[in-house]
Amino acid sequence: MFNFDFYNPTRILFGKNRLEGIDKYVPADAAVLITYGGGSARKSGLIDKVKTVLGNRKVYEFGGIEPNPRYETLVKAVEIVRSENIDFILAVGGGSVIDGTKFITLASYYKGDSRDLLKFGFMPIPLEVVSKVVPFGTVLTLPATGSEMNSGAVISYEHGKFPVMCELAFPKFSILDPTLTFTLPKIQVANGVIDAFVHTTEQYLTYPVDAKVQDRMAEGILQTLIEIGETTVAESENHEARANLVWSATLALNGLIGAGVPQDWTTHMIGHELTALLGIDHGQTLAIVLPSLLEVRREQKRAKLLQYAERVWHIKSGRDEEKVDLAIQKTREFFESLGVKTRLSQYGVGADKIPVIVEQLKAHGMTTLSETQDLTLDISQKILEGSL
Ligand code: NZQ
Ligand code: ZN
């Protein structure tokens, strides 16, 4: 196992009827900005409920944060934070609203051009660059990204999606009430299952470092998602299944399973280009890329793929090659069982688009990806060709 630092200060309030926690953890005299998305939280009545709990606090609202939140939208909220002296932000929504809120909070006290904050990539923004933020909490409405308990965000600007990491961007608290996700369209639930699944494989399907706890936690999350995936997509009000999805998605990307192990974020990096260029949903891009990536990288990932085959899919017989084949096939079938297509061609994208996608990977510096940093552009191209 590698050395690691683990830090996660986010308080989790899990379960039904937890909105009262807002009153407890938002300072009584705070001027509060509620951030939300395109309207689902308003339509469901959630924004009104949150405002009721906030009581006499001075409340401002900023709606319209779009999926794959855009820099141009978020800077408008930064203006409100500054002009109204906002002391606390409450993000009500999915990963996009929460990520957008992280950017708003980081940009609010930043003196320079806030596009600078998009240039750090996976390197955490140093505290000399951003030393003060507006504290924020979240009310999660879509289980998928883990953004509710991590310090990362992904912000869209021009034709790119830019990771932004900073230890000041952890939520103070997150309310995870599975019933708040019951209004989700099926495709968003399926996207969420796949996002959580792929976050887990990206911290697990690399090479062995004898990290027994992290491996078994990752396998537990993967097995849980496989067990409840179809049910939680089909039965939108099945509380037990949804509760397990919510907590799996949070644990998949709150730092625990990634501590002390190699990580391979290639699927996400290629997926980001597919969203930015072609508008394919985040979860769907992952369902397209992962099976092909596992095929192309089966030699580099052989030991962990065998462990995955045996422990997650219970494939006990056959030659090693056959076990790996079957594990990859079962992964694809699992995504498809959720109603998500796993081939680029099924999204109307042909081979002619691949050079453009590879060009964008190059433009964004994604030229040495993977756990061993030897996944060059020609290998990304092979992965894309395999996903057609
Ligand atoms: O905008 P509204 O009207 O709220 O509708 C949203 C949106 O259209 C809707 N929705 C959310 N909760 C709902 C609901 N509809 C009905 N009922 C509810 N309860 O769902 C749609 C998608 O929402 P979005 O927030 O975009 O989805 P998700 O949570 O999957 O977030 C995706 C974003 O997160 C980033 C992705 O890149 C993408 O931009 N990621 C962030 C990560 C992080 N911070 O750690 C990691 C992830 O890998 C991911 O990259
Ligand atoms: Zn993701």
Does the C-beta of 94 come closer than 6 Å to ligand 1?
Answer: yes
Mutate to test the pocket of ligand 1, among 145, 182, 197, 280 (most ligand atoms within 8 A of CB): 145
Does the C-beta of 191 come closer than 6 Å to ligand 1?
Answer: yes
What is the reported pLDDT for 312?
99
pLDDT band for position 241 (cuts 50, 70, 90): very high
- The ligand 1 atom nearest the CA atom of 43: 3
CA of 23 to the centre of ligand 2 (A): 31
What is the reported pLDDT for 299?
98
Does the C-beta of 188 come closer than 6 Å to ligand 1?
Answer: yes
Inter-residue contact 384 to 361 (CB < 8 Å): no
CA of 240 to the centre of ligand 1 (A): 22
- Round to whole Å and give the CA distance between 172 and 21: 12
Nearest CA to ligand 1 atom 38: 68
Using alpha carbons only, give the angle 288, 152, 338 rounded to the nearest 5 degrees: 30
| Among 304, 207, 199, residue whose Cα is nearest residue 257 | 199
Nearest CA to ligand 1 atom 47: 145
Does the C-beta of 99 come closer than 6 Å to ligand 1?
Answer: yes
Mean pLDDT of 2-18: 98
pLDDT band for position 229 (cuts 50, 70, 90): very high
- Where are the chain's structural domains? 11-180, 184-386
pLDDT digits (tens, 9 = 90+) for 124-170: 999 999 999 999 999 999 999 999 999 999 999 999 999 999 999 99
Nearest CA to ligand 1 atom 34: 95
pLDDT digits (tens, 9 = 90+) for 258-291: 999 999 999 999 999 999 999 999 999 999 999 9
- The ligand 1 atom nearest the CA atom of 150: 45
Task: Report the percent of the chain where pLDDT is more than 70.
Answer: 100
Nearest CA to ligand 1 atom 28: 95
Q: Which residues lie across from 253 on neighbouring strands?
A: none
CA of 302 to the centre of ligand 1 (A): 33
What is the reported pLDDT for 169?
98
What is the reported pLDDT for 359?
98
- Which CATH superfamily includes the segment(s) 184-386? Dehydroquinate synthase-like - alpha domain (1.20.1090.10)
For the domain spanning 11-180, the CATH number is 3.40.50.1970
Which tokens sit at 241? Answer: 């299944």
SS (H, E, C) the chain: CCCCCCCCCCEEEECCCCCCHHHHHCCCCCEEEEEECCCHHHHCCHHHHHHHHHCCCEEEEECCCCCCCEHHHHHHHHHHHHHCCCCEEEEEECHHHHHHHHHHHHHHCCCCCHHHHHHCCCCCCCCCCCCCCCCEEEEECCCCCCHHHCCEEEEEECCEEEEEECHHHCCCEEEECHHHHCCCCHHHHHHHHHHHHHHHHHCCCCCCCCCHHHHHHHHHHHHHHHHHHHHHHHCCCCHHHHHHHHHHHHHHCCCCCCCCCCCCCHHHHHHHHHHHHHCCCHHHHHHHHHHHHHHHCCCCCHHHHHHHHHHCCCCCCCCHHHHHHHHHHHHHHHHHHCCCCCCHHHHCCCHHHHHHHHHHHHHCCCCCECCCCCECHHHHHHHHHHCC
- Round to whole Å and give the CA distance between 127 and 176: 29
pLDDT digits (tens, 9 = 90+) for 38-79: 999 999 999 999 999 999 999 999 999 999 999 999 999 999
pLDDT digits (tens, 9 = 90+) for 297-354: 999 999 999 999 999 999 999 999 999 999 999 999 999 999 999 999 999 999 999 9
**Which bound ligand lies closest to the C-alpha atom of 276?**
1
Task: Report the percent of the chain where pLDDT is more than 90.
Answer: 100
What's the gap between Cα 156 and its chain centre?
A: 14
Does the C-beta of 383 come closer than 6 Å to ligand 1?
Answer: no
What is the reported pLDDT for 103?
98
pLDDT digits (tens, 9 = 90+) for 112-128: 999 999 999 999 999 99
- ipTM topping 0.95: yes
What is the reported pLDDT for 98?
99
What is the reported pLDDT for 11?
99
Mean pLDDT of 171-190: 98
- Round to whole Å and give the CA distance between 370 and 238: 37
CA of 96 to the centre of ligand 1 (A): 5
How far from 119 is each of 10, 162, 248, 272, CA to CA, in Å? 25, 8, 30, 16
pTM: 0.98
What is the reported pLDDT for 70?
98
What is the reported pLDDT for 125?
98
Computed from CA positions of residues 308, 312, 313, 317, in that sequence, does the dihedral angle turn out positive or negative?
Answer: positive
Give Rg (Cα) of the chain.
20
Average pLDDT across the chain, whole number: 98
- What are the φ and ψ backbone dihedral angles of 26, each rounded to 5 degrees? -100, 125
What is the reported pLDDT for 369?
98
Tokens 């397209």 map to which residue?
288
Mutate to test the pocket of ligand 1, among 96, 201, 233, 246 (most ligand atoms within 8 A of CB): 96
